[in-house]
């Protein structure tokens, strides 16, 4: 083998060092590369293609529900960021500041957007006059910058890619309905596209978005039992509208404030895909966002007719599937490992014997099951069925992992023991006091994930302080 052939190198087993396994997979599958800027990642073609597939699906869902894409500027004047008090307190410590344009010092510093609420608000104040202008349902696909101290590809980077929706409504009810509508889109996307089950609910006041009245979240459980906040949908009430003076004349010509929402999911999702589905051989990509759903590997390529038959197969399947093929002179075994490591959901092996029998050998990435497929008019349907089955099986496996690791605790000792010894989430009652959240953080390095939508019995107590419970809540360690 030539010295420059890339070898399928060993990946650290998950049980040995999960963080190292993650880093190995991200690098070896060529998803990202480190960049010359601390904490900012380069999204390589394979990583970016996953993001493109995520974008395509979500963008369709947003448009079907009446949302329009726009593009707001990258930079925010310092005075504009300061207009909403909670918001600036939440974000100012972690923004990057532009102070010079060319050789000239700017009169006012500009920050690179950490999120774009204030830009949308100042635009809405300008373009909304009448109830006929409402609702405004805008979204944008951009990157944002947050000056994080410790960074990891996809999970926490100084620059990341996301969509941010920002909407304005005539009434609180409509805005709340939007917040929940989007939460439902996120849940559906996680489950039906990424094959990742999520828990969902409200964030506590401590954990909610800076400036929001309510923050809904979807939370996924990674293979190591830790939580990944997977997407958030915020209800702002009229707080931003008052700060930015966004008003409209209603049907009776009375001046009213609008009610707003914002919501976003980011390239973090790709970190979630890796850590929920991956195994010790590398990535396992859910078929609906895999850049390549199939890889065609010719067997005994040197034998007469094999190349032509494989080319014909590739040509045929390209019409229905995202696929790649490998006609290089590397050994089939090398190719098997390589495309397994890169998480291609289904491999098609096609050699002289198969050609003779009019079949192709399909091998599933997730469970290595080997399936013989007749090459007839049903081939595409049968492949699609396998891809759907892979999706369902990935989901079922992740669901089993999630629910088998959600525990309940009624007292602080049990809660502590679980959060210290058992990877996973713990459900408890909670009084609603931030002091209890801070104690859990300090004692157990765990944070509240979200509130359950469940009634709390009259006599239930907070296991942390013993006071009367108001909520039931999930706790967990988180990325």
Binding site for its own copies (CB under 8 A): 2, 4-5, 33, 35-37, 40-45, 48-49, 51-52, 68-77, 80, 92-104, 110, 112, 119, 122-123, 126-127, 129-130, 132-133, 138, 142-143, 145, 147, 158-159, 161, 249
Least distance to its own copies, CB of residue 444, Å: 28
CA-closest candidate to residue 429, choices 392, 391, 400, 468: 468
Of 125 and 456, the one with the shorter C-beta distance to its own copies is 125
* Shortest CB 65 distance to its own copies, Å: 15
Nearer to its own copies by Cβ, of 86 and 191: the residue is 86
**Cα–Cα distance measured from residue 57 to residue 163, given in angstroms and rounded to the nearest whole number:** 12
CB closer to its own copies, 169 vs 214 = 169
Distance CA 139, CA 124 (A): 13
Smallest gap, in angstroms, from Cβ of residue 470 to its own copies? 35
Omega of the bond leading into 374 within 30 degrees of 0 (cis): no
Beta carbon nearer to its own copies, 23 or 414: 23
Instruction: For residues 321 and 468, give the distance between their C-alpha atoms in angstroms, rounded to a whole number.
Output: 56
Minimum distance of its own copies from residue 95's CB (angstroms):
7
Give least dist CB 387 to its own copies, A: 22
CA 121 to chain centre: 26
Shortest Å, Cβ 69 to its own copies? 5
The DSSP string of 34-66 is E-SSTTBEEE-HHHHHHHHHHHHHHHHHHHHTT
Q: What's the min distance (Å) between Cβ of 265 and its own copies?
A: 16
E runs forming strands in 203-333? 214-221, 227-237, 247-249, 255-257, 259-266, 294-298, 323-325
Contact 287, 293 (CB under 8 A): yes
Report the distance separating Cα 235 and Cα 172, nearest Å. Answer: 9
Of residues 103 and 442, the one with the C-beta less far from its own copies: 103
Least distance between its own copies and beta carbon 260 (Å):
17
Residue 299 backbone phi and psi in degrees, to 5: -110, 135
Residue 349 backbone class (left: φ over 0; alpha: ψ -120 to 50; beta: rest): beta
* Shortest spacing between CB 155 and its own copies, in angstroms: 16
Cβ proximity to its own copies: between 151 and 416 the closer is 151
Question: Minimum distance between the CB of residue 151 and its own copies, rounded to whole angstroms?
Answer: 12
> Which uninterrupted H or E stretch holds 183?
helix 172-192
Rounded to whole angstroms, how far apart are CA atoms 433 and 450? 14
Under 8 Å between Cβ of 273 and 319: no
Give the residue among 328, 321, 333, 334 at the shortest CA–CA distance from 294.
321
Return the SS3 of 180: helix
> Which residue is listed with tokens 């009259």?
458
CA dihedral angle for residue 445, residue 446, residue 448, residue 454, rounded to 10 degrees: -150
Least separation in angstroms between CB 317 and its own copies: 18
Tell me which residue of 47, 44, 31, 24 sits closest to 280, measured CA to CA. Answer: 24
Select 37 or 435, whichever has its Cβ closest to its own copies.
Answer: 37
Residue 214 φ/ψ region, left for φ over 0, alpha for ψ in the -120 to 50 degree band, beta for the rest? beta
User: Cβ closer to its own copies: 78 or 399?
Assistant: 78
Least separation in angstroms between residue 133's CB and its own copies is 8
Specify the DSSP element, H or E, that contains 78: helix 78-81
Of the two residues 92 and 461, which places its CB atom closer to its own copies in the complex? Answer: 92
Closest CA to 214 of 179, 241, 187: 179
């Amino acid at each position: 083998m030539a010295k420059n052939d890339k070898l399928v190198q060993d990946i650290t087993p998950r049980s040995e060092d999960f963080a190292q396994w993650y880093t190995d997979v991200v690098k070896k599958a060529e998803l990202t590369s480190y960049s010359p800027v601390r904490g900012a990642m380069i999204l390589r073609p394979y990583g970016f293609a996953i993001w493109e597939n995520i974008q395509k699906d979500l963008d369709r869902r947003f448009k079907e529900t009446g949302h329009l894409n726009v593009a707001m500027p990258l930079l925010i004047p310092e005075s504009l960021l300061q207009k909403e008090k909670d918001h600036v307190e939440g974000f100012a410590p972690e923004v990057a500041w532009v102070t010079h344009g060319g050789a000239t010092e700017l009169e006012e510093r500009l920050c690179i957007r950490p999120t774009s609420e204030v830009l949308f608000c100042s635009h809405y104040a300008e373009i909304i006059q009448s109830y006929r202008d409402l609702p405004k349902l805008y979204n944008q696909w951009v990157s944002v910058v947050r000056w994080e101290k410790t960074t990891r590809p996809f999970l926490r980077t100084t620059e990341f890619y996301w969509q941010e929706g920002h909407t304005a409504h005539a009434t609180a009810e409509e805005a709340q309905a939007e917040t929940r509508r989007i939460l439902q889109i996120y849940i559906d996307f996680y489950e039906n596209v990424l094959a990742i089950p999520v828990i969902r609910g409200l964030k506590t006041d401590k954990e909610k978005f800076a400036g929001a009245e309510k923050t809904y979240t979807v939370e996924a459980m990674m293979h190591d039992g830790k939580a990944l906040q997977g997407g958030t949908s915020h209800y702002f009430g009229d707080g931003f509208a008052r700060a930015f003076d966004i008003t409209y004349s209603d049907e009776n010509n009375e001046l009213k404030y609008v009610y707003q929402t914002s919501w976003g999911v980011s390239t973090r999702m790709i970190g979630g895909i890796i850590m929920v589905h991956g195994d010790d051989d590398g990535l396992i990509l859910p078929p609906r966002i895999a850049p390549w759903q199939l890889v065609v590997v010719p067997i005994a390529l040197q034998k007469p007719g094999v190349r032509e038959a494989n080319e014909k197969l590739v040509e045929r399947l390209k019409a229905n599937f995202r696929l790649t093929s490998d006609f290089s002179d590397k050994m089939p075994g090398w190719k098997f490992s390589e495309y397994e490591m890169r998480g291609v959901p289904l491999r098609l092996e096609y050699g002289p014997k198969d050609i003779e029998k009019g079949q192709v050998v399909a091998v599933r990435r997730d469970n290595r099951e080997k399936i013989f497929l007749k090459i007839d008019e049903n081939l595409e349907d049968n492949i699609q069925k396998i891809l759907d089955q892979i999706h369902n099986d990935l989901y079922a496996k992740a669901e089993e992992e999630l629910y088998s690791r959600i525990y309940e605790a009624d007292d602080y000792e049990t809660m502590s023991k679980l959060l210290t010894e058992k990877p996973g989430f713990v459900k408890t009652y909670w009084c609603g006091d931030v002091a209890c959240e801070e104690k859990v953080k300090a004692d157990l390095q765990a944070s509240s994930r979200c509130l359950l939508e469940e009634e709390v019995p009259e006599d239930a107590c907070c296991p942390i302080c013993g006071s009367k419970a108001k909520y039931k809540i999930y706790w967990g360690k988180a990325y």
